[in-house]
Amino acid sequence: MYIDHRVLGSTKLTGIIGNPVEHSISPQLHNSISFYLGLNLIYVPFKVEKNELENAVRGLKALNIAGFNVTVPYKKDIMKFIDENSKEAILVGAVNTVKNINGRLYGYNTDAEGFARAFKEESGEGFKAKQVALIGAGGAARAIAVKIALEGAKKIYIVNRTKSKADEIAGIINNNIMNIAESCGLDEEMNAEIYKKCDIIINTTSIGMYPEVKSSPVSRNICFFSHQIIYDVIYNPQRTQFLEDCGRFGCKVINGLGMLFYQGIYAYEIWTGVKIPEEPLKDLFRSFSNILDK
Ligand code: ATR
């Protein structure tokens, strides 16, 4: 009989909690990194029911888990069970990565960091002195807005269907980081004016995600300009209708695959302290995009 040596008595445990978790590709990503680096670590998915979050966290702590990711719908609720949340996670209002050090839990948000890294790698640009428009005002928008503000953007416009939610994020930025954020509801003329002024436009909504692949968060009457960088947090499909339309104006267009990838890489680095070298990282990213293509 074949003896499987992948999991040993000394193997360290990591994983992801959320509901659902069946669709998550984080196990493949993290286990591939451990395999590549030869680290004795395993990453497993845990589906947690709504009223079981506290029990689940206690259990993971009791089992001496090295660290875990947190996904929908617990990124906010998890914060009250964490001993120390990072400053950035508090501003973002969400934790997606937890590290266990001797029974003390530390909370981080690597979505924001993952977004910034992916954006810089793929566009060759940063956010300093840039005018940026965010479409949507949910968790992804807040993480991205906080990061961009911390990195010195000149102006952040938050455009959202429910204006009060855009106001809320603008308030967080203006009161805690810098007075650079403005909110706006959905209004074709006003939105077009905003997009015209921006260097970077980011869709943080799920509009255009599979299976609604023909939808776009922006009216087809609005024009974009070739110097603009357009980012869509969606990675399925890899080229959304929004990116397709903006590509026709000659804009540089980037999908959310890199954000997903780098939030995982940062989590891995937080748990293990290992910095993954550039070359294998690129190789891993290529393989990772291929999994999602299937
Ligand atoms: P996430 O945490 O991934 O950012 P979310 O919290 O559900 O997801 O936020 C999604 C954002 O996309 C919301 O701001 C939502 O607008 P509302 O605040 O008005 O609900 C926006 N959004 C999602 N679907 C939309 C649609 N069909 N039209 C307009 N806005 C939409």
User: Which residues contact residue 212 at a Cβ distance below 8 angstroms, ignoring those fewer than 6 apart?
Assistant: none
Q: Relative to the CA of 139, which ligand 1 atom is closest?
A: 2
User: Which of 75, 161, 202, 207 most suits a substitution to test ligand 1, by most atoms within 8 Å of the C-beta?
Assistant: 161
pLDDT at 292: 76
Q: Could you give the dihedral angle defined by the CA atoms of residues 172, 80, 205 and 270, in that order, rounded to the nearest 10 degrees?
A: 100
pLDDT per residue as tens digits for the range 163-214: 999 999 999 999 999 999 999 999 999 999 999 999 999 999 999 999 999 9
Task: Judge whether 87 counts as a catalytic residue.
Answer: no
Task: Please check whether residue 42 is in contact with residue 11, taking contact to mean a CB–CB distance below 8 angstroms.
Answer: yes
pLDDT per residue as tens digits for the range 35-81: 999 999 999 999 999 999 999 999 999 999 999 999 999 999 999 99
pLDDT per residue as tens digits for the range 98-141: 999 999 999 999 999 999 999 999 999 999 999 999 999 999 99
User: Which of 205, 219, 241 most suits a substitution to test ligand 1, by most atoms within 8 Å of the C-beta?
Assistant: 205
Judged against a pLDDT cut of 80, whether residue 24 lies above it is answered with yes
Residue nearest to atom 23 of ligand 1 (CA): 205
For residue 86, with 0-12 CB atoms within 10 Å meaning exposed, 13-18 middle and 19 or more buried, which class applies?
A: middle
Region 221-226: mean pLDDT is: 97
pLDDT at 291: 79
Exposure string for 266-283, b = 16+ CB within 10 A, e = fewer: bbbbbbbeeeeeeeebee
Q: How far is the CA of 137 from the centre of ligand 1 (A)?
A: 6
Judged against a pLDDT cut of 80, whether residue 293 lies above it is answered with no
pTM of the full structure = 0.95
DSSP helix/strand/coil, 161: coil
Q: How far is the CA of 217 from the centre of ligand 1 (A)?
A: 10
For all residues of the chain together, what is the average pLDDT? 97
Residue 252 backbone phi and psi in degrees, to 5? -80, 125
pLDDT at 16: 98
Over pLDDT 90: what percentage of the chain?
97
Q: How far is the CA of 17 from the centre of ligand 1 (A)?
A: 22
Q: Relative to the CA of 205, which ligand 1 atom is closest?
A: 12
The residues pairing with 133 across neighbouring beta strands, listed in sequence order, are 157, 201
Tokens for 149? 């503000």
Judged against a pLDDT cut of 90, whether residue 290 lies above it is answered with no
Cβ of 40 closer than 6 Å to ligand 1, yes or no, is no
What is the band of 294 on the pLDDT scale with cuts at 50, 70, 90?
low
CA 8 to chain centre: 32
